[in-house]
Amino acid sequence: MATYRSEDVTLGAPAETVFLKLDNLQGLGEMIRNAPAEQIPADKRDMLEKIEVTADTISFPAGPMGAITLRKTQSVSPSLIRLEGEGTPVPMSLSLHIVPMGDVASTAYVEIDLQIPAMLKPMVSGPLNKMTSEFANMLRAVPFN
């Protein structure tokens, strides 16, 4: 198992508010669709338009692999939202960890766990580290209040 972890990002909302907003995947889909264009890099806009969200899944394009679907499998208020891959080439999960910082702020970080053969790890480490960082940075743009 390989684990890829983003840096901590500070969010201007309490942990419970962050959790409630992100635990509803359909709400996350709405936020993605309504994200200001200037906050999304041009090379990511096309991908965002192809994201499909239901109450408990999120699917997004993954290049030659086709689409990746993640299903919510665990919610622990206000600290954890865990999604696991469905039909992915290897078992994987994405976890969002939310850490309270008082009544007005929280921090969060993203972890991706992936069961990959050791010989493939060097090829996927860079893109997966980048993906965790981009996901965590995207959280900064979410209007939690």
pLDDT digits (tens, 9 = 90+) for 7-58: 999 999 999 999 998 998 887 777 666 666 676 667 666 767 778 888 899 8
Counted domains in the chain: 1
Range of the domain at 115: 2-139
| Nearest alpha-carbon partner for 86 in 117, 52, 44 | 52
What is the structure's pLDDT at 25? 87
CATH code assigned at 24 = 3.30.530.20
Give 71's strand partners: 57, 84
Instruction: Measure Cα distances from 90 to 56, 80, 86 in Å.
Output: 20, 22, 9
Residue 51 lies in a domain: yes
Q: Look at residue 144 and tell me if it is in a domain.
A: no
Asked if the model's pLDDT at residue 79 lies above 90, the reply is yes
Q: Lowest-pLDDT range, 43-57, 67-81, 115-129?
A: 43-57
pTM: 0.85
CA distance 112 to 52: 20
